[in-house]
Homo-oligomer: A and B are copies of this chain.
């Protein structure tokens, strides 16, 4: 489960401006349908870290820090992120139904699809408020990359002919592309110099890669209480993340995942794989890959002047690696 973070320590010079982003997001609650308001509050209010908006605001400090442009920019990325999660829920529900469709779960799909669309619409409206075509095009492109990422993730479920490179491509689409757009977008709308825009994009991209890898490691290592779902839930759902891929590389000929995916005692074999992965050095090895991306994120900052926002960006890269939930 996402814990709220100490935003003022983590986001330094922009922490005080994040409530304005929340306020804009909360303007969505002003709808005629009480049940929609309730769904929005669940989707948007759930103690998220607001890391993407924070990155946008921080990057805005590379130029002429203008909250009139940055707040809609930051809100648009957070909303795009949340809309994607809402649609992922529909997709996950479909997974649960596999082989056992129930009327109730099908009925519940409809509001989630519509809620996600409603959020996409507002995200598009927010980014359009920046009045910046380059940012808008990036946003549309990110939406496309994310949707393609969703697609490739879904069909890869229960396929094990996957390798690490394809995993990295997948998490770029799923997570890093939006971090990159959040960061680059903040710099662009504030008119930062082009080398700083490029540094912001690179930083966001590599930070997002590190963030997702750590997320995928935590899915194995954290306790069920911390996660709010069973440890190893990705693998149980048929999704191979980095630790599982490294495990399959280590035992290429025969292993419990391979046996599970060919239909043999699925649940028991997957649980055995989860236990073995947790006890192996593979989580540490995965984290090492995450650390490499965080290091690249920090290296991208070399193009920026000393001081803020560089210092806070550096601290954020460290936090992403060190976090435990």
A residues sitting closer than 8 Å to B (CB atoms) are: 31-33, 35-36, 84, 87, 90-95, 106, 108-111, 113-118, 120-122, 124-125, 127-129, 131, 133, 136-137, 139-141, 143-144, 146-148, 150-152, 154-155
Contacts and interface: CB of A to CB of B under 8 A. Distances in A.
B111 A154 contact: yes
> Which of A35, A121, A127 has the largest number of chain B CB atoms within 10 A?
A121
A118 B147 contact: yes
A140 B35 CA distance: 23
A125 B151 contact: no
A141 B141 CA distance: 19
Say what secondary structure dominates the interface of chain A: helix
B118 A35 contact: no
Contact of A125 (B36, B94, B106, B141): B141
Contacts of A33: 151-152, 155
A137 B121 contact: no
> Which of A122, A124, A154 has the largest number of chain B CB atoms within 10 A?
A124
Given A33-B152, A133-B131, A143 B114 contact: no
A90 B94 CA distance: 12
